[in-house]
Structure formats: structure tokens, C-alpha cells
Chains A and B, each alone.
Chain A
Amino acid sequence: MTTLSRRRLLGGIGVAAGAAGLGLPAFAAASKVNVGALRLVSHAPSFIALERGYFEEAGLDVEFSFFQAAQPMAVAIASGDVGYGATAITGGLISLAQKGVAKVIGGALREEKGIPGQVILASNAAYDAGLTEPAALGGHSFGVTTAGSSFHYMGSRVASAAGVDPAELQFRPLQKVGAVIGALKSGQVDAWSIVPNIAGSLVNSGAAKQIGLIADYIPDYQVTTLMCSATNAAEEREKTAAFIAAFARGAADFNAALVDRTADDADELAAIIHKYVYEDDTPEVAAKKIAAGAMRLSPGCALDLASVEDQLGWFTSEGLIRGEVSTEMLVDTSYVDAA
């Protein structure tokens, strides 16, 4: 969808940074914003934006609401209890968008070849029995949290890309990431795909085998997106743009220090993120885990519309969503910078 007009409202990094540089607050009084977050490295831009004062400079008085899973956060955002958040495109999110209550306003986590990304794993037993590459996935079970989750999408798309009919996979819904880990370790499910830090610790401890990278099978996969309620998207344009801009600054810092490693403040950023993620670990261990799990965040919160379209098409073809859904229903393109 490169024909989409590339509009930038306040949303560019340059504008926000410029305003901050001039010392002009975007709003007279800081407006309170509740931001939904999960204690995952992929939510680091929000944590960085708060700790480094980007939200404040954008005139936002941010408070975090933490969730255990993306699904309840999406519902909380749709109902207006939480202003903004980042989440994967799931059946639940699309359903909320269909009801006209939630909108995607930008991109966050994204697969990129050459950068650590999500990993396709096989259980030791299945690996020994010949599941050494995704092309052998046929007839095997694949762990997912719920039907219509990003795991479900990945499993299905990886199979297609590897020349396997996705109908030959048995998708096992296990609700929680912890349950899938347990099932994979004990060989109850044969395969799974997961973010690099979890995959790394499983592979390093010998509990599972790596059989591929998501980036090789689903190139440019837009894993998570920024979203807000439809009301915020339509009526709070300034605030929404300010949020996107501040989040993008956080993402830029993250990319520079931990993904591209062009900046030398990686330790400082790890310390910031450690306040919210891996709180149980020592700073050294946490820093290692954070570095290991650093995936690319879309620069400028750009959204890969081709990937979004592909995901929508998959959800529709799988019968996971009822009726028609268009990109326009899901995405408020006025904020979006196409990647």
C-alpha cells in the first residue's frame, strides 16, 4: 500500500524534538494519559520515553497500567480505561476494530532480516524424530496461546512458506506462554515460535532446538502495533500524535543502542528497562537478557501496511473473524507512516 499518502501531522520525530528543543511545551498543561504495557522488552519505548522525559516534553503526564496479556489490554484500550498501548494484531483486536472502538495508529515491533527476531523452536523429542526444519512441520503439533493469536498466525504462515499445508498442523491452544513453555519442554507440543530472549534461554539450557527464524519465512512481519480507542484517534488528535512522537523517540533510542549498536548508552537504557522488566534478576543478568531480546522497533512508528493486509487476509481466510474487515476499519491511516 505504498500509494497511501504519506502524511505526517505532529507525528514526526523532528517536529516533536524541535518543539522540545525550543523549550516549548506542546500543551499548556500536561494532560494525563494512561498507557497500557506488558513487562516485556518490546514495550521498552514507553519505558524509555517516560524515564527520559519524552512524554513530559510532549505534554503528556503518563502513568502505566500493567497487564498480563495483550488481550485484556486491548479490551481496556477499547473501553477507554487505558489510552494507548502496543499489542500484536490478534483476532480480538480486529474484532474490536470491527465494532468501531479500537484503531491501530502506528507500528512497533517488526521482523527484519539480520536482526535478532522470533525463533521457530522444536521440542527435543520432535527434533530427534526428524523435525529439524519448518519444511517437516506437517503432522506436528504447534503451541499457541489462543486461536487467533500471533502464534497461530506465525505457525500457519511459516508452514505455508515452507511448503506445508497449514491444515496439517495441530494448533494447541494453551492460554499462557508459561504453559506453552512447559508443554514444549515436556514434548507435549512439537513446535512453537517465540521472541528471541525466551527462545535463547530454552535453546541454551538444552530444553528445545532452534529450527528456523521467523524473519526468513515471514519477511517484514509487523509483530506489534500501536493502538488506541477510536474516540482518542478521532477526537484527541494532538494528544495521540504527541504520544506517537514520544514513543518513536523511545524506539529510536532503543534501536540505536541495542539493535544497531550505533549509540553507546546501551547500559543506561538497560538500566531504565530493568526498572520494569526482569525485576527479579540482577542488573547484569537483566542487561544480558535485554540485549539478547532486542528486536527492531519500526522507526518513526511506521506501519508495514503490506504485512497488516496479509494478517487481515489470513484471519479472514481462517474464519477467525466474522464478516468483512478492511484495512481502513483497523488502521487510522491519518497517523500512519507507511513503512
Chain B
Amino acid sequence: MLERVTATAPVRAAQGTGPEQGREVPFRGGGFRPGQRRWVAPVLFVVLIALVEAGTRSGVISNLTLPRPSDVFATLVDLARSGLLWKHLAPSLGRLVVGASIGAGLGILVGVMIGLFTLVRAGLVPLVAALFPIPKIALLPLFVIWFGIDEASKYALIAFGTFTPTVVATYGAVDGVDRTLIRMGQSFGLTWLSIVRKIVLPGALPGILSGLRVSLAIAIILLVAAEMLGAEYGIGAYILEAGALYDLERLFAGVTVLSVLGLVVSFLIGRVERLLLAWRA
């Protein structure tokens, strides 16, 4: 075998006279590997804003289509200076925290139950699948009757909206826990509770947290819907009022606040992930 390999080598070498002769093999392994470019996002953002500013100033973009970014910024500054920003933000944050905590908390609980118990899975998976696509906004009048017009209905709407995606993400994560780890736990005679607490829950945590990213974004989306229900203050109420008055500057100022809220939530979940999932590479 070895002899035959050495025998073919001279034939190949005979075609060129030196190692520099012939063609170099072209590189074709590039791409498909997203890297990090921290400056791209801010630059793109600034360029887009500048384009809109120039467009609205020159009249290419009519004042019916988009507000001037500088006016939106001025509106935001006014909002902050007058203290109205906090007056709107505080109740919204309260609704977000309470509603999302209830929804995500129950969602994780039910998701884990579905992941662990055959009977619960058989009963609840179709139910959750049926609840998931219901547009929560469509139930608005019903929520007024069920939970009243005050905070309870807002909590309920946000909780309902975050519940279903959390359930789906959680039981998917529990299903995804390495079965050999559970077998290992059983082989060492661990109690059922120990297996759930020390193997299933930590193993499902990455999936649960990435599900929470989606759920909390949905909670922010639903904030506007929730504040349709008789809210005098709140970022969602502020946006709705701006929309009703066709006040584009306030509308965009409110939307900007929601976007920032989304960024903050995403950043916080990233922090929690780094803290709790440090064991991942």
C-alpha cells in the first residue's frame, strides 16, 4: 500500500519544474459566518435618521407621511422636561412588570408541567395551540366585563399575551433536555424532585430564557393594546391619543420610547443569560 503511494508521486511532480509553477488553489470557504461589527448599527441608524430629516426639510417627504426627526426629538425633550414622560412611563412599566410576571410565571409553570406529565400534555397542548392564535385585542370588550376597566384588565391582557408563547417555549425546552442526563439522575437514585430541580430546570433554562425574549417583546406590543382600555396615562395611551389626533411627532416620540423599552428588556435578558448560563461556551 505504502509503496504504491510513493510510486505515483514522481508522475505528478514531473508536470512542473518547481513548487512555484502551476496554479494556486483558490480560496472558496468564505462567508456564512456572521461576525461582529459594532459600528454598523449606529451608523445605519444615523444615516436613516439623517435621510428622513433631509427629506422632510426639503419637502420630498410630506409632513403627512413622516414627522421631522428633530421635531420628534424636541417632543421627547419636552415630554421629559415637563415630567409627563415619567407620568406616562411609570404606569406602563407597572403594567408590564405585573402582567408579564404573571403571564411568564404561569407560562413557565404550565410549560414545565406539560413537559413532565403525560396527562397534562395531552390535555393542555391542544388548548394552548388553540389559545395562541387568538388576537388578544379582539377580546378587549370581553376583558372589560371580566376584569373591569382598571389595572386588572391591563394586567390580564399582557399576562394572557405572554402566557402562551412562554408555555410553548418552556415545554419545548423541557422536551429538549438531554434524556441521558435524566437517565443518569435516575441511575443514581435521585428523587423525582431532585431530578426536576437539578437536571430538568437548569437544562431547560436556555430555552426558557430565549422564549422570554419573545414573550417580553410581545408584552411590550400588547402594552398599547392594554392601554386602549380606559387608560389615562401610559405610553400606549399616549401613542393612541397621538394617533387619534394625527399628531405624528407625539406618535413617533411614543414609539421611540417603546423601542427603547424593547432594547432595555433585550439588554436585561442578555445580562441574565450571561449570569445564569455562564456554563455555556
Contacts and interface: CB of A to CB of B under 8 A. Distances in A.
A174 B144 contact: yes
A101 B64 CA distance: 8
Query: By CB atoms of chain A within 10 A, which of B141, B229, B231, B246 has the most?
Result: B246
Contact of B244 (A146, A185, A189): A146
A173 B246 contact: no
B195 interface: no
A191 to B, nearest CB: 13
A57 to B, nearest CB: 34
A74 B53 CA distance: 26
Contact of A149 (B228, B230, B244, B246): B244
Contacts of A99: 63-64, 246
A95 B141 contact: no
Contact of A174 (B64, B142, B228, B241): B228
Contact of B230 (A91, A93, A188): A188
B82 to A, nearest CB: 12
A322 interface: yes
A48 interface: no
Given A186-B145, A189-B230, A173 B237 contact: yes
Nearest to A182: B141
Query: By CB atoms of chain B within 10 A, which of A185, A188, A322 has the most?
Result: A188
A320 interface: yes
A298 interface: no
Interface string B29-49: 000000000000000000000
Nearest to A75: B246
A147 B246 contact: no
B228 A175 contact: yes
A176 B141 contact: yes
Contacts of B142: 182
Contact of B247 (A95, A170, A176): A95
Nearest to B238: A147
Nearest to B225: A175
A147 B241 contact: yes
B250 to A, nearest CB: 9
A91 B149 contact: no
A246 interface: no
B244 A91 contact: yes
Contacts of B148: 188
Given A78-B64, A101-B64, A176-B141, A183 B244 contact: no
Nearest to B75: A322
A321 B245 contact: yes
A83 interface: no
B205 interface: no
A182 B144 contact: yes
Given A179-B140, A188-B148, A189-B149, A92 B230 contact: no
B245 A92 contact: yes
B199 interface: no
Contacts of B232: 170-173
A174 B230 contact: yes
B109 interface: no
A179 B241 contact: no
Interface in A139-184: 141, 145-149, 170-176, 178-179, 181-183
Query: By CB atoms of chain A within 10 A, which of B64, B142, B148, B232 has the most?
Result: B64
B116 interface: no
A96 interface: yes
A186 B229 CA distance: 14
Interface string B239-261: 01101111100000000000000
A186 B144 contact: yes
Contacts of A173: 228, 230-232, 237, 240-241
Nearest to B231: A173
B245 A91 contact: yes
A335 B172 CA distance: 65
Contacts of B245: 90-92, 95, 147-148, 320-321
Query: By CB atoms of chain A within 10 A, which of B145, B231, B245, B247 has the most?
Result: B245
A95 B145 CA distance: 34
A71 interface: yes
A148 to B, nearest CB: 5
A75 B243 CA distance: 11
A75 B246 CA distance: 8
Interface string A44-81: 00000000000000000000000000010011001100
Contacts of A147: 241, 244-245
Interface string B122-155: 0000000000000000001110110011000000
A175 B240 contact: yes
B237 A179 contact: no
Nearest to A146: B244
Interface in A170-210: 170-176, 178-179, 181-183, 185-186, 188-189
Given A78-B64, A147-B245, A172-B149, A183 B237 contact: no
Contacts of A141: 230
Contacts of B243: 71, 146
Interface of B: 63-64, 140-142, 144-145, 148-149, 228-232, 237, 240-241, 243-247
Closest 10 CB pairs of A and B: A146-B244, A172-B230, A91-B245, A188-B149, A95-B246, A92-B246, A182-B141, A147-B241, A175-B228, A179-B141
